[in-house]
């Protein structure tokens, strides 16, 4: 039976919401008097906060569990207590206990119970909690204390869209919005704790809604918090992109000119088979409207190649959509069948070699566009929010409004907003030179 742990380490995989959840679990355990360590091999308790979105992500959990135990044995230490949290825990809880004999399994809607589950496991009681009482966890988490200059804040969870390839509606449950006041309170606490930028998170963040008020109303309220310089949000669905939110990109200065708006594929037949409920054309028209409101907006997206039945010609339509949009950055994935999703039962699996080739071609096009976007930024002036020190002496790293990494040399503190001119574009980052304010 594992002893009651004194030290813990949280490792988060997957999306930004998992990063947020991981931070909140760490705060819960710290509130119980446990001590955080960066070194997983030195921790009495390791929380693996897992992602279920693609098969590789799931397999990684099992190999991580094996590695953690092996390292402990190699060091002559007792094996750590292992808690599996996140979406794999939700989807495969019982299976993980059977296959990997972990001590604790806790789903994404139940992690406020983690300290109790850990005590139960230490006392020898099997500890599995994958209940899904929506939102109840938020009321039971400790207050935010210290955060870096950029912070995540979950405002919405779950998904009702049921894209046919996706596990999220099953692991995170139905769409649900946190209350307006709770969000404003948490944002204020984050700013008091050091945040200068807040990224609002949700699987369908732009579906946030309270009595007819939409995400833009929330953004306007957060814009009024003194000390909060930047607001971002992710991930959005094209069908929830309301006019108020588009207008906010024009009217709210602290709302950054960046939009992650996944389209997944460029062919209407594939979009239909994915149950995306938008077309290629409606997506492109939406982007026109958004660009009319905020011409310099940087666009980002997600793509899946090799969805069952995707033909060469249909894949070419994804490439031509990419050409038409000119993304500032994007993520692309090979289709991975997920058990329990409708697409997993479809015929027409695309051969692995074809999938590889499509992914390579798509990524080449996306890299080309990312570099073009970065090159086109050279000569522009903007604020950079300093996030950390660089490797070179005096070097600082931060982000532009368009979410590009920018390095610069100067005497600045983490959290400073520095006015720079962008002077050089590399493949993944830019360099900036501080602009000296002109004396009045
Ligand atoms: N296979 C491949 N990619 C997927 N995504 C979601 N489900 C799958 C799947 N089964 C991708 C989508 C989504 C992103 C978070 O992950 O592009 O937008
Ligand atoms: Fe998954 Fe589609 Fe919902 Fe996004 S919108 S979480 S891809 S089901």
Q: Which residues line ligand 2 (CB under 6 A)?
A: 159, 161-163, 166, 168-169, 203-204, 237
By most ligand atoms within 8 Å of CB, the mutation choice from 87, 157, 168 for ligand 2 is 168
Q: Which residues line ligand 1 (CB under 6 A)?
A: 53-54, 165-166, 262, 264, 302, 304, 333, 335-336, 338
The residue-averaged pLDDT of 309-328 equals 98
Nearest-ligand number for the alpha carbon of 362: 1
The residue-averaged pLDDT of 151-165 equals 95
Residue 354 neighbours by CB distance under 10 Å: 15
Alpha carbons within 13 A on the beta-carbon side of 304: 25
Q: What is the pTM (predicted TM-score) of this model? A: 0.94
Class of domain 7-129: alpha beta
Domain layout of the chain by residue ranges: 7-129, 138-373, 381-434
**Nearest CA owner, ligand 1 atom 14:** 302
pLDDT exceeds 70 at position 311: yes
**Nearest CA owner, ligand 1 atom 13:** 302
By most ligand atoms within 8 Å of CB, the mutation choice from 263, 304, 334, 366 for ligand 1 is 304
Alpha-carbon gap, residue 69 to 59, rounded angstroms: 16
**Cα(110) to centroid(ligand 2), Å:** 21
Residue 438: predicted pLDDT: 60
pLDDT exceeds 90 at position 183: yes
Least confident stretch, 58-72, 111-125, 137-151: 137-151
- In tens, the pLDDT along 352-385 reads 999 999 999 999 999 999 999 999 999 999 999 9
Alpha-carbon gap, residue 83 to 127, rounded angstroms: 9
The answer to whether the 138-373 and 381-434 domains have the same CATH topology is: no
Q: Is 15 annotated as a binding residue?
A: yes
**114-122 and 16-31 are packed helices; what angle lies between their axes, rounded to 10 degrees?**
60
Residue 59: predicted pLDDT: 84
Residue 56: predicted pLDDT: 81
Give me the percent of the chain exceeding a pLDDT of 70. 98
**Cα(54) to centroid(ligand 1), Å:** 7
Least confident stretch, 225-234, 239-248, 274-283, 425-434: 425-434
Alpha-carbon gap, residue 424 to 426, rounded angstroms: 7
Domain 138-373, architecture per CATH: Alpha-Beta Horseshoe (3.80)
Q: Which helix (H) or strand (E) holds 183?
A: helix 180-192
Q: Identify the band that residue 2 occupies on the pLDDT scale cut at 50, 70 and 90.
A: low
Q: Identify the band that residue 437 occupies on the pLDDT scale cut at 50, 70 and 90.
A: low
Residue 319: predicted pLDDT: 98
**Cα(202) to centroid(ligand 2), Å:** 11
Q: Which fold has domain 381-434?
A: OB fold (Dihydrolipoamide Acetyltransferase, E2P) (2.40.50)
Closest ligand 1 atom to Cα of 332: 17
Four-residue CA torsion sign, 366, 287, 253, 175: negative
The residue-averaged pLDDT of 74-89 equals 93
């Amino acid at each position: 039976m594992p002893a009651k742990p004194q030290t813990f380490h949280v490792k988060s995989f997957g999306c930004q919401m998992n990063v947020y959840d991981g931070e909140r679990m760490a705060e819960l355990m710290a509130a119980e008097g446990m001590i955080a360590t960066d070194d997983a091999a030195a921790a009495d308790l390791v929380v693996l906060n897992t992602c279920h979105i693609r098969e590789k992500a799931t397999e990684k959990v099992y190999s991580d569990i094996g590695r953690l135990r092996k390292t402990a044995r190699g060091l002559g230490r007792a094996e750590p207590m292992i808690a599996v949290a996140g979406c794999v825990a939700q989807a495969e809880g019982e299976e993980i206990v059977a296959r990997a004999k972990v001590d604790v399994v806790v789903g994404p809607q139940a992690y406020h119970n983690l300290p109790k589950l850990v005590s139960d496991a230490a006392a020898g009681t099997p500890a599995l909690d994958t209940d899904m009482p929506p939102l109840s966890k938020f009321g039971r988490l400790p207050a935010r204390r210290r955060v870096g200059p950029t912070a995540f804040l979950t405002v919405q969870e779950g998904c009702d869209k049921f894209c046919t390839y996706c596990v999220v509606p099953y692991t995170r449950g139905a769409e649900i919005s946190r209350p307006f006041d709770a969000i404003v309170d948490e944002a204020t606490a984050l700013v008091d704790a050091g945040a200068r930028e807040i990224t609002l998170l949700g699987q369908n963040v732009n579906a946030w809604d309270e009595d007819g008020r939409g995400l833009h109303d929330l953004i306007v309220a957060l814009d009024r918090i003194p000390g909060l310089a930047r607001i971002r949000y992710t991930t959005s669905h094209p069908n929830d992109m309301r006019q108020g939110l588009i207008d906010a990109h024009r009217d709210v200065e602290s709302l950054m000119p960046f939009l992650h708006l996944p389209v997944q594929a460029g062919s209407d037949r594939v979009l239909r088979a994915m149950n995306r409920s938008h077309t290629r054309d409606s997506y492109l028209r939406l982007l026109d409207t958004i660009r009319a409101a905020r011409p310099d907006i940087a666009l980002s997206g997600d793509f899946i190649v090799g969805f069952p039945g995707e033909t060469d010609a249909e894949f070419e339509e994804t490439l031509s959509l990419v050409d038409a949009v000119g993304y500032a950055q994007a993520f692309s994935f090979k289709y991975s069948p997920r058990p329990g999703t409708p697409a997993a039962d479809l015929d027409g699996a695309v051969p692995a070699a074809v999938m590889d080739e499509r992914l390579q071609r798509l990524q080449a096009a996306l890299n080309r566009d990312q570099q073009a976007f970065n090159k086109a930024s050279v000569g522009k002036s903007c604020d950079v929010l300093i996030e950390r020190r660089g490797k070179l002496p005096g070097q600082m790293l931060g982000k532009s409004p368009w979410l590009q990494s920018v390095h610069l040399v100067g005497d600045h503190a983490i959290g400073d907003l520095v006015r720079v001119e962008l002077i050089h574009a590399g493949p993944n980052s830019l360099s900036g030179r501080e602009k000296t304010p002109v004396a009045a």
